[in-house]
Amino acid sequence: MGDAARSEVPLAVLQDRPSSTATSPAAPLPAPAAARSDTEQQQEKVAQNTASAAGTAPMGECNTEYRGLPGANGEDTAASAPAALRKVSIVPLVFLIFYEVSGGPFGIEDSVGAAGPLLAIVGFLVLPVVWSIPEALITAELGTMFPENGGYVVWVASALGPYWGFQQGWMKWLSGVIDNALYPVLFLDYLKSAVPALGGGAPRAGAVLGLTAVLTLLNYRGLTVVGWVAICLGVFSVLPFFVMGLISLPKLRPARWLAVDLHDVDWNLYLNTLFWNLNYWDSISTLSGEVDRPGKTLPKALFYAVIFVVVGYLYPLLAGTGAVPLDRGQWSDGYFSDLAKLLGGAWLMWWVQAAAALSNMGMFVAEMSSDSYQLLGMAERGMLPAFFARRSRHGTPLVGILFSASGVLLLSSMSFQEIVAAENFLYCFGMLLEFIAFVLLRVRRPDAPRPYRIPLGTAGCVAMLVPPTALIVVVLALSTLKVALVSLGAVAIGFVLQPALRFVEKKGWLRFAVNSDLPDIGVGHAPAPAAPDEPLAP
């Protein structure tokens, strides 16, 4: 939604608006349609249309759908959307999710170096069940319940209020920017064996700056462009591993997969590597407002992406550990290119390195899209200054893109392990808020429209969240003191930043505005027929 379509409403109006489901005792009930004349009905329609155009229509009245968000209930939007704001369809969305979460097996090598082949393989089989599937299910339900940019920020704000919604936005945005700083690091780690000058110093710094500038420009050109670029990059990135797996077949020794030494396991590195490679399923929720028919498209895209990601990890992991004698000291980020050379020769090594470079480009643009649209969504909810909601002529959030790119440049000097540990710590806090919000919305708003609903009752959903919550506790407990202190300091900044922004708004130093096209997330929906439980699988 561009600026021209936005009606400014002070933030206080949104927060203080009374529940639309409560009927004032003094307000007369409307007469049935059949008992009113055609003239009266026509006058009422005109008044409603006028109020809606002025941005004063009560958001919660008969609020069984997301008003002002085309596609919220599955209708076709392709014909009505402006060319610059075309909605993202299912195939690009699958690859955007793939790049938000994975991007291929690049970066999983540390799991073998930390724990050996058996634990690495078991980890990539078990953790998707414990973590990825529950997170994807929650994203499918809440992402279709609130189909707007802002995603998990809106979920938490609806359940816990705007203060905690802002904290969620701050932690998840900072976590996403830290995560995005990984991709230039991984990109250069894969290329430094062929170009040693990229290992450090001015050449490496210049490469990071140039890569960030090019990919930021790609984000500026539009999300649809990013989606189709993600498809091309994704196909190219997985092909060399498919070939490497075929070449490794005659050399496979299944006994190598069983190698394990429980006395020599770096549990911190092992769990952080697994967790980093299998999380961020909720990141796509911040793009829900840009998705074509999100009620149907988002759950299906998540289903396909889960399969794509898990297979994309296990296939090369089985090939690499089964075809080559184990040397755990060699298994660190970038080692797949060395394996490719051992198995297929220099040509396959160059292909894997090129695939790694393009994969990191895909992950970068997907993550930056999620981060920048999150800021736009927060601005449309009045949580950030209004200039964050401005779109470029390509429909993209220009200010959010620039802020996210600046954060990446500031953090890109950190090492791979430091970045993973820091973003995991912040991400865990954000996920705890999401779990709480999900359960509270199930309890407080059971009748709210949910185009996709997890086929479990509230008790079943709570039971589903027990294992991932336990995993969060373990990841936090294994963090180093340095990572914990830095991360907690970042969280504390958010506690101060939100009241500071409210003070700035009160003084009028910056303009804040709420997009009146968005429904009030602070009120309950009117009772509506229960949406049919649609399985996550198509």
3-state SS of 104-125 is CCCCCHHHHHHHCHHHHHHHHH
Question: Whose CA is closest to 527, among 445, 447, 462?
Answer: 447
Neighbouring CB atoms inside 10 A of 488's CB total 13
pLDDT at 223: 67
Question: Whose CA is closest to 352, among 319, 304, 307, 308?
Answer: 319
Q: Encode pLDDT of 330-339 as tens digits.
A: 998 789 989 9
pLDDT at 85: 56
DSSP string of 393-451, one letter each residue: TTS--HHHHHHHHHHHHHHTTS-HHHHHHHHHHHHHHHHHHHHHHHHHHHHH-TTS--S
Residue the block writes with tokens 């498809």: 231
Averaged pLDDT, groups of 10, the chain, 538 residues long: 39 38 39 45 44 34 34 36 63 91 89 95 95 96 92 94 94 86 73 68 77 78 73 89 94 94 91 89 90 92 95 95 92 88 92 85 84 92 92 85 79 64 83 96 92 94 96 87 85 94 94 86 42 43
Q: Is the Cβ–Cβ distance between 291 and 70 less than 8 Å? A: no
Would you call 352 helix, strand, or coil by DSSP? helix
Question: Whose CA is closest to 281, among 130, 111, 466?
Answer: 130
Question: Whose CA is closest to 103, among 202, 2, 180?
Answer: 180
3-state SS of 184-202 is HHHHHHHHCCCCHHHHCHH
Long-range contacts of 336-344 (CB under 8 A, 24+ apart): 336/105, 336/106, 336/109, 336/241, 337/190, 337/193, 338/193, 339/244, 340/240, 340/244, 343/244, 343/247, 343/248, 343/251, 343/319, 344/243, 344/244, 344/247
Distance CA 84, CA 337 (A): 39
Residue the block writes with tokens 């939604």: 1
Q: What φ, ψ does residue 245 adopt, rounded to 5°?
A: -65, -40
Q: Encode pLDDT of 5-39 as tens digits.
A: 333 343 333 343 333 333 334 334 344 444 444 44
Q: Is the Cβ–Cβ distance between 72 and 518 less than 8 Å? A: no
Longest dimension (CA), the chain: 85
pLDDT at 505: 93
| Burial category of 27 from C-beta neighbours within 10 Å (exposed 0-12, middle 13-18, buried 19 and up) | exposed
Distance CA 78, CA 283 (A): 24
